[in-house]
Every structure is written in C-alpha cells, then in structure tokens.
Amino acid sequence: MSRPDKFDRTTTGALAGFILPILTGLLIYLFSSKGLSLSDYFTKIVTADIITHIISLSVLPNILIFLVFNRLDMLKASRGVVGITLFWAIIVFAVKFLA
C-alpha cells in the first residue's frame, strides 16, 4: 500500500479539514489580537458581529487541502474535506441567521 493510498480515507480528509481551520483561526488571533486575551478577543469579534467573517476566513485553507488531495488522486480524503467544509458552512449559517 503506497503512502497516498494509506491516507486516502474520508476520516483523514475530515480531520484535516477540521483541524486546519482551527489552526488558521489561531493564527488570525495571533496576528490581530493586539495583546488581548483569547476570551477578550472572542468577545470583541462577537460584539463587532464579525465572527462569521473570521470563521469563513479560517475555512479558506481547506481549498488548498482539497486541491492537494485531489491532485494526489486521494478522492476519499477529498470527500472528507468537502464534507467538513459543508459542516463549517452550516456553522456559519447558523451563527449568522439563527443567533
């Protein structure tokens, strides 16, 4: 079993598609927090009503993961990334319109 075949699982793509936006969100926090604690920063973005913008920006790197998995012909992993990205889209929709 070659390396791409070993990791060509839907769970691999879903895990990558879930973890990368969280890491990207932390990077956004590190570069834009201006010394605020994480809880203060979260409060700031919620009161400014830009939480959905931050989540959407955090999910953008999933496109890169999808393209890499697709290029390596890891279609099951690509499916996992698409599924988790839809999950993030539902979260954004719920936060924007139901909260």
User: Is 90's pLDDT higher than 80?
Assistant: yes
Helices (H) and strands (E) in the chain, counts: 6, 0
Among candidate residues 67, 76, 95, 58, the one with its CA nearest the CA of residue 14: 76
- The Cα-based distances of 58 to 4, 40, 80 in angstroms read 26, 19, 17
Reported confidence tier of residue 1, pLDDT bands at 50, 70, 90: low
Report whether 17 contacts 62 (CB < 8 A).
yes
What pLDDT, in 10s, does the model give residues 24-64? 999 999 999 999 999 999 999 999 999 999 999 999 999 99
Q: Where are the domains of the chain?
A: 3-98
Average pLDDT, the chain: 95
Q: Measured between alpha carbons, how far is residue 63 from residues 43, 56, 67, 70, 83 in Å? A: 28, 12, 6, 10, 12
